Amino acid sequence: MVVPSVPNPVRLLILGIGLALSRIGYLDRERAIRISDLAWPRVVTGLARMSKNAVDVAMVGIASGTGAITGVGIAGPYWGLAFALGGGVAGGTIALVSQRFGADAMDELGLAVRSSALLTVVATLPVMVVFWLFPTELISLLSNNPEAIELGAEYLRIVGLGVPFAGLNLIGSRVLVGTDDAYTAMVLRASGAVVNIGVNAVLIFGFDMGVEGAALGTVLSNVVVTSAFAIGLSYGSLPGVGAFPVTIDPFGSFVDFETLSDLVTIGLPVMGRGLVWTVAEFPMLAILDMFGADVVAAFVIVRRIWGLMNTPGWGFGLASSSLVGQALGKGDEETAEAYGNEVIRFAVATYIISAILVALFARPIVLGFVKDPSTSGMVVSTAVNLVYVACIAVVLQGVSGGAAGPLDASGDTAWTFGSQFVGMFFCSIPLTYVGSVTELGITGLYLAFLAETTIPAVLNFYRFRTGTWKVVSRGYRPETVADD
Q: Do the domain assignments include residue 482?
A: no
Contact 73, 285 (CB under 8 A): yes
**Average pLDDT score over residue span 224-249:** 92
Q: What percent of the chain has pLDDT over 90?
A: 38
DSSP 26-40: SS-HHHHHHHHHHHH
Is the separation of the CB atoms in 91 and 264 below 8 Å?
no
Element (H, E) at 469: helix 468-473
Question: Is residue 135 situated within a structural domain?
Answer: yes
The three-class DSSP label of residue 162 is: helix
pTM: 0.69
Q: Considering the domain boundaries, does residue 211 fall inside one? A: yes
For residue 169, the Cα-to-chain-centroid distance in whole angstroms is: 12
Mean pLDDT along residues 31-52: 81
For the stretch 192-212, what's the b/e string if a residue is b when 16 or more beta carbons lie within 10 angstroms of its beta carbon?
A: bbebbbebbeebbeeeebbbb
For 19, residues 6+ apart whose C-beta sits below 8 A from its C-beta are 29, 32, 33
The count of structural domains within the chain is 1
pLDDT tops 50 at residue 5: no
444, 431 Cβ separation under 8 angstroms: yes
| CA-closest candidate to residue 376, choices 294, 305, 290 | 294
Contact between 146 and 152 under an 8 Å Cβ cutoff? The reply is no
Q: Is the dihedral of CA 466, 472, 478, 482 positive or negative?
A: positive
193: pLDDT strictly greater than 50? yes
Position 447 in a domain: yes
Confidence label for 4 from pLDDT (cuts 50, 70 and 90)? very low
List pLDDT tens digits, range 319-337.
888 888 888 888 899 999 9
For residue 431, which amino acid is it?
L
For the chain, how many residues are written?
A: 484
Distance between CA atoms of residues 240 and 440, nearest Å: 56
Q: Indicate whether 422 pLDDT > 50.
A: yes
Q: Which residues, in sequence order, are CB contacts of 380 under 8 Å at separation 6+?
A: 298, 363, 366, 367, 370, 373
Q: What is the pLDDT of residue 483?
A: 44
The predicted-structure confidence for 129-151, as pLDDT tens digits, reads as follows 999 999 999 988 877 778 888 88
Query: What 3-state DSSP class applies to 106?
Result: helix
Whole-number pLDDT of residue 266: 83
User: What is the per-residue pLDDT for 335?
Assistant: 92
CB atoms under 10 Å from CB of 67, counted, come to 21
Determine which of 22-36, 197-211, 244-258, 371-385 has the lowest per-residue pLDDT on average: 371-385
The mean pLDDT of 181-207, rounded to a whole number, is: 85
3 found inside a domain: no
Residue 121: which of 157, 60, 170, 156 has the closest Cα? 170
Quote the pLDDT of residue 373.
Answer: 64
The C-alpha atoms of residue 32 and residue 38 are separated, in whole angstroms, by 10
The DSSP bridge partners found for residue 238 are 242
| pLDDT on residue 2 | 41
What integer pLDDT is reported at residue 394 of this predicted model?
92
Query: Is residue 196, in this structure, part of any structural domain at all?
Result: yes
> In terms of pLDDT, which residue wins out, 293 or 118?
118
Q: Using the predicted structure, report yes or no on whether residue 101 has a pLDDT greater than 50.
A: yes
In a domain, 455, yes or no: yes
Q: What is the DSSP letter of 238?
A: E
Structural domain that includes position 125:
9-477
- Burial category of 16 from C-beta neighbours within 10 Å (exposed 0-12, middle 13-18, buried 19 and up): exposed
Decide if 483 is inside a domain: no
- pLDDT at residue number 144: 78
